[in-house]
Structure 1
């Protein structure tokens, strides 16, 4: 539960963001990785550990059967649409498509999490809360040590590294656009931090009723809201940020050279093939 998508709710992104054999390796070891992530927050007893492992196996089998085909189709559509410069509406549409894929994946993962959370003792709940508070404080403290220019430079570096992974070398104009995007993100940092704290408070309230029948439904809704950056208090700010980002991504797409387009297409071809292999394993 940071200002980014929470790691336990974002396993679809490990599929749609990484190309090549790394995708298959990561996906086929998600059960180990997610169990490790949970164990970094709380110590489970043997019964809870078994409950989570069984539930996670069912969830990942369902995800492979139900969600991976959706991801494959979305990548295929994206490849076709990238043959021509994308419109603002297309950029917005694909954000919606991949956000919904992430939400559906998070909802599947919420099932085994809800099952094990419902078995937590008060001591275990306190352990998770303490772990989260410690991580939030560390993250906020590290950020507070940086000047605005340092924060911007760090975000720019991250965006450039990510973009270069997908399109190859960047032009000076493309670097300018990514710097602009980093500025948007920096402006939103206080909002994202407040949203993080709000999601944490919702989780705390949910855990007080973790033995109630509606707990699983409510935890699933929280996971979906986190994935989509849904927050009634800040929805107008989020909408404004996303609209600015969509327009910038449209401009960035229109700057791509034929060699960059070919580079991106090859990456997407590899990714689509990898997802197909995962589906048929």
Structure 2
């Protein structure tokens, strides 16, 4: 996704961060976390802060009451599936489901953020764009120092860490399968840079029209465009096959560990949905 959407993505990730550990501790402090994320990019005045708080509170209530119960129900379906090997065909609807959730959350987050962006002064817009450009330059320098081999190693390490967290200790066979998957990954920094440049230009053009009618709809449309881009078949198929192979290689203890984690998370999301 274009890096110009980083603010909205951060806010979206704040809303779904419940899946990353101490659910209630994080979720019940989302308003504070959201302000901190936004504050990294925009220095809002008092009126803008009040407006953002109001919009985010409505987004938060929607997510708590409507989305968390759906996540919980789907996690319980996954809990059942986790007890047996999963085929690539079974993974397809699960991936589509996850993409729909991400699309919905992105749309709602951008719609909530739109009034605050529309209220920005010209100096705030310049500061925001400068911060985004600085972030991109820093990331580009970091990527340039990273060899292809190290890049693939990092991708493998990330996948291994996630599997270890959710399913318990990774077996040698699973580690080998992940490393083989990472070895096939293709890196294209030039294409990513070109796509990002186009995105920055589009975002800057949107901000120039922030006080014109229809700004919110245009902003949401801009944010959703990446979701409508087809994923390369080879990339999609390799990812599904990796997950299916890891499932087939799972030990009984790993299956039980994963099912328990999914069930515990579902229970906590249900509890959060009815709190406050």
Q: What is the TM-score when the length of structure 1 is the normalising length? A: 0.88
Segments of structure 2 that go 5 or more residues without pairing to the other structure are: none
For residues 223 and 140 of structure 1, what CA distance do their matches in structure 2 show? 22
Asked whether the equivalents of residues 174 and 246 of structure 2 are also in contact (C-alpha less than 8 Å), the reply is yes
For residues 114 and 193 of structure 1, what CA distance do their matches in structure 2 show? 26
Aligned-pair CA distance for 1:224: 3.0
1:37 equivalenced with 2:37 (yes/no) = yes
Aligned-pair CA distance for 1:189: 5.1
- Pairing of 1:145-184 with structure 2 (within 5 A): 145-184=145-184
156-165 or 198-207, which moves further after superposition? 198-207
For residues 189 and 178 of structure 1, what CA distance do their matches in structure 2 show? 22
1:29-73 CA-to-partner distances (Å, cap 9, x unmatched) read: 111111111110111111111110111011101111111111111
Alignment partner, residue 252 of structure 1: 246
For residues 246 and 191 of structure 1, what CA distance do their matches in structure 2 show? 24
Aligned-pair CA distance for 1:4: 10
- Pairing of 1:127-206 with structure 2 (within 5 A): 127-187=127-187, 190-206=190-206
Aligned-pair CA distance for 1:192: 4.2
101-110 or 253-262, which moves further after superposition? 101-110
Segments of structure 1 that go 5 or more residues without pairing to the other structure are: none
Asked whether the equivalents of residues 155 and 182 of structure 2 are also in contact (C-alpha less than 8 Å), the reply is yes
For residues 162 and 189 of structure 2, what CA distance do their matches in structure 1 show? 20
For residues 87 and 96 of structure 1, what CA distance do their matches in structure 2 show? 15
Q: How many residues are paired up? A: 272
For residues 218 and 176 of structure 1, what CA distance do their matches in structure 2 show? 45
Asked whether the equivalents of residues 181 and 248 of structure 1 are also in contact (C-alpha less than 8 Å), the reply is yes
Alignment partner, residue 60 of structure 2: 60
1:274 equivalenced with 2:268 (yes/no) = yes
1:147-170 CA-to-partner distances (Å, cap 9, x unmatched) read: 222222222222211211001111
SS of match in other structure, 1:139: helix
86-95 or 195-204, which moves further after superposition? 195-204
Alignment partner, residue 72 of structure 2: 72
